[in-house]
Amino acid sequence: MEKDKLLEQMRTAVIEGEIEEGEALARRALEEGIDPLECIEDGFVAGINKVGALYEEGDMFLPELVAAGEVMKEALAVLEPELLKSKQTRTILGRVIIGSVAHDIHDIGKDIVASMLTASGFEVHNLGIDIPADTFVAKVRELQPDILGMSALLTTTMPEQQNVIEILKEEGLRKGVRVMVGGAPVNREWAEAIGADGFAEDAVEAVKVAKTLVGS
Residue 124 carries which DSSP code? E
Q: What is the pTM of this model?
A: 0.81
Stated as kind and residue range, the H or E segment containing 5 is helix 2-16
The tens digit of pLDDT for each residue in 86-141 reads 877 788 999 999 999 999 998 888 988 998 898 888 999 999 999 999 999 999 99
Percent of the chain residues past pLDDT 90, beyond the cut: 78
CA atoms 9, 208, 95, 189: torsion sign: negative
pLDDT higher than 80, residue 79 = yes
Taking CA atoms, 104 is separated from 24, 110, 155, 183, in Å, by: 36, 11, 10, 11
What region does 192 belong to: left with phi over 0, alpha with psi -120 to 50, or beta?
A: alpha
Q: How far is the C-alpha of 41 from the C-alpha of 197, rounded, in Å?
A: 28
Question: Mean pLDDT, to the nearest integer, of 64-79?
Answer: 90
- Residue-level pLDDT at 119: 84
- Residue-level pLDDT at 78: 95
- Residue-level pLDDT at 69: 87
Between 83 and 142, residue with greater pLDDT: 142
- Residue-level pLDDT at 36: 92
Percent of the chain residues past pLDDT 70, beyond the cut: 100
Question: Mean pLDDT, to the nearest integer, of 36-62?
Answer: 92
- Residue-level pLDDT at 146: 98
- Residue-level pLDDT at 1: 55
Strands 178-182 and 198-199: parallel
Average pLDDT, the chain: 93
pLDDT higher than 70, residue 31 = yes
The tens digit of pLDDT for each residue in 159-210 reads 999 999 999 999 999 999 999 999 999 999 999 999 999 999 889 999 999 9
- Which among 192, 195, 97, 189 has a CA at the least distance from the CA of 151? 97
- Which among 120, 111, 97 has a CA at the least distance from the CA of 183? 111
- Show the domains of the chain with their CATH numbers: 2-85 (1.10.1240.10), 94-213 (3.40.50.280)
